[in-house]
Chains A and B, each alone.
Chain A
Amino acid sequence: MKRKPLKFVVSLILVMMVSCGEPETVVTDIVHADGSVTKKIEMKNMENNFKIPNVQVPYDSTWIIRDSLEISEKGDTTYIRHAEKLFASVDEINNDYLTDSSNNEDITRRAEFRKKFKWFNTEYRFAEVIEKTMSYGYPVTNFLNEEELAWFYSPDKITSEKLNGPDSLKYKSFSDSIDKKIEKWTIRSLITDWIGEFTEITKGEARGDMATETLKKREDELFSIIEEGGEEFDSLWSNGLFIKEFIGEANANKYQAEIDSAGNIVSEHIWVDFSAYTQRIVMPGEIIGTNGFIDSTKTLSWPVHSDFFMTEPYIMYAESKIPNKWAWIVSGIFLLFVFAGIIFRIIKK
């Protein structure tokens, strides 16, 4: 009887430990027409702890740092840190990502910039990309439709507003159905990733029941077992009982090391050490394309959660255009010239 509350308290402490440490972070990339980018990081924390291993994005002493604080009516102090740096190009940002020692150092991030001259306009594309963590997982688009995908990628603020709004029941059932699909997607991806990693470790030399094709064919079976097994699956897997039952004792013994290695790799892919943050992008000129959300300051915004880049790269992109006024003038003069010439010829005739 005493164990349950103790477990609860420990869990609560663990949750608090995790959630108290990291600041609430908003990263803003202000993209300039020449390809340079001003990166701004705004961090908010209950503790005055903005050490790099505690923050979601890399920054260092070369950044311009400003500290401030807010005091609530209750007397709670919130510490705020603003860090800002001008990067000459995305290559410099990518160099920072390569030497990343932040809290999210385990993930691979990069920035992309493209400038296209299209005579009347110059088009710009900037993207912050987070590479996928799983090598063989299924894309989430195989499991969710367009509407569900929109919900999945929505900022928490939007989903929680809907869940607590007037149509809360409708949205609750919608959210639950998405959660089930997400669970299915995660397990399916986990299985296919394990098969893929196992094949890679054995260099495809495993034969019989452990051959890639055979394992792939048994994917549905494996999925049903895991889904039905629920919480018990973890203990069955860790005891090695599940795998012995599934592929036979002889195979389990023969490929024990490879099975465990593949299992460890998949665990690392699933349990990525990652802290969520918000990414914002400000583009030069007029926005003509994006997959982000527009906030009240007309800035593009994306939530960044670990689910988003589990099986596919998470590309947060924005496209904009700046009209080339000189090209419009030159084109106008040229058209006038040709038009006048044609009229001149008609008159001369």
Chain B
Amino acid sequence: MNSDEAKYDRVLDLLRKSRPVLDSKEEIEEKVIRIITQKQEKKEISSGVLDFLFGWVYVGWVRTGLVAASVILIIAFVYQQAVIIKRINNLNRQAIYIESQIITGRSLDSDAGYFYRLAGRKLQSGDKMISEKQVKQVIKSYNELEKKYKDLIKLIEDDPELMKYIEEKLIENNKKKFKL
């Protein structure tokens, strides 16, 4: 035995002899026991939840029942989807696409037709729609003009010669306008 080894043994002896003095030995024991117990409880809780959730796997008839219900659900889903897909495919085969038969048109006031007839001339609208707003504006302007020139209209209506002259002028004007 060399001197180093002797020194080491002496230190170890000293340490063994000089143990720490514990004030509350029981308290420490309790603490240690508590920590160990808590760990065990945690383990028990997690396995308890799993057992609660999946406890049915240990009951034969419940297990069989739930597995059977799952299988039925899957079969029902596959069958239902297959039937629907088949029907949609048949539909695609039988479908004939035709031109839409929606009748188009927008709301107009009934007096719009009256105004058009009153104008007695071709409106350059083609098959296009005259918007409701546009027609309302035209009618409004027409009514305003009629009101404004009420006296003049009365004067013209009362004088057949003047009326005839105005009509001729209007026709002439229209012919020029429409290049007839």
Contacts and interface: CB of A to CB of B under 8 A. Distances in A.
A75 to B, nearest CB: 5
Contacts of B116: 69, 71, 77
A223 interface: no
B87 interface: yes
Interface string A271-282: 000000010100
What size tier do the contact residues of chain A reach? 35 or more
Contact of A345 (B57, B70, B90): B57
B139 to A, nearest CB: 13
B6 interface: no
Given A80-B105, A288-B84, A338-B66, A75 B123 contact: yes
Contacts, number: 130
Contact of B127 (A73, A80, A319): A73
A164 to B, nearest CB: 15
Interface string A295-310: 1110101000000000
A301 B80 CA distance: 27
Contacts of A118: 80
Given A293-B98, A334-B73, A121 B80 contact: yes
B107 interface: yes
A323 to B, nearest CB: 10
A311 B172 CA distance: 64
A119 interface: yes
A299 B107 CA distance: 23
Nearest to B113: A69
B70 A42 contact: no
Contacts of A335: 70, 73-74
B95 A294 contact: yes
B76 A119 contact: yes
Interface string B65-96: 01101100110110011001001101100011
A295 B91 contact: no
A334 B74 CA distance: 11
A237 to B, nearest CB: 40
Interface of B: 50, 53-54, 56-58, 63, 66-67, 69-70, 73-74, 76-77, 80-81, 84, 87-88, 90-91, 95-108, 110, 112-113, 116, 122-123, 125-127, 129-130
6 contacts: A278-B101, A288-B87, A293-B97, A301-B98, A344-B54, A348-B57
